[in-house]
Amino acid sequence: MPSKSIQFQKVGIMGKPRSQEAAETIKILHDHLVEEGCDIWLQDSLPESLHSKHTQPTSRKEMGKLVDLVVVVGGDGSMLNAGRYLVQHEVPLVGINRGHLGFLTDVRPTEVRERISEVLRGQYNQENRFILHTEVYRNQERIGRSDAVNELVLYPGEIARMLEFELFIDNQFVYSQRSDGLIVSTPTGSTAYALSGGGPIISPKIDAMVLVPMFPHTLSSRPIVIDANSHIEIAISSNNQHYPMVSCDGQVNIGLAPGDIIGIKKHPLPLKILHPESHDYYEVLRTKLGWGQKL
């Protein structure tokens, strides 16, 4: 019989389908959840060898309807993918790091049993992070939409092409720009592509977005931090002779044409991420970015 102290009875597992390291950790996680008496749903694209009589296969799209908690085994990319699917169901996520940086997946593979037991029993810190929702319009008709946990990137789609566009925030004109594109980032994404582009690190506790120009034609163009509840519009200039792209988390791409309008706003629902009680955001920054340690 399952322990009465368990807070999450229905647990989903998502992860990298073709990662041997992730598969090894998923097997350990699976066995531990069985011992805890949990009902387990497994992402159906994971290797057949990971499925058992204790698991029920389901798609990423359906996972959020069935479970109380999702454990993501992989890197930050796996968490970004899971977040876009699960945010609408308000299902909390906890990440086990089998990737590289691990800003979002902060449970070490060697601590799976200990940390997951703690989470199951309510010993965790919950962090609500907002994500972006974008829609693309052509001749006033919506042609595409997606969500982004980290960032939305407007880029030319071709090497050595300059992109022309106009930026509006809350219906106010900000600037016209010729550049390699624009990064619109959440605080979660401020340590990712936006950081590489020269943007600031934004604490996840701050309700803000950052707009980072990519190699602008004028050196006076600089990153802007704005209120997260702002509505952003990017108008692709009809002067462009090529077809740019907009990318969400580097995983979902929408093709654009001259004259298209990109609308970006805060998603109405938060992404719920659970951390071990020992989680320290600034310790993560020190470790991942190589900052100096305490003397």
Buried b / exposed e over 228-240, threshold 16 CB at 10 Å, is beeebbbbbeeeb
From CA 148, how far away is CA 151, in angstroms rounded?
Answer: 6
From CA 54, how far away is CA 234, in angstroms rounded?
Answer: 49
Known catalytic residue: 76?
yes
CA dihedral 75, 76, 78, 82 (to 10 degrees): 150
Which residue is associated with the tokens 């001749």? 139
Written as one string, the DSSP assignment of 130-182 is: --EEEEEEETTEEEEEEEESSEEEEE-SSTT--EEEEEEETTEEEEEEEESEE
From CA 11, how far away is CA 86, in angstroms rounded?
Answer: 13
Active-site residue, from 68, 76, 147, 170 = 76
**What residues act catalytically?**
76
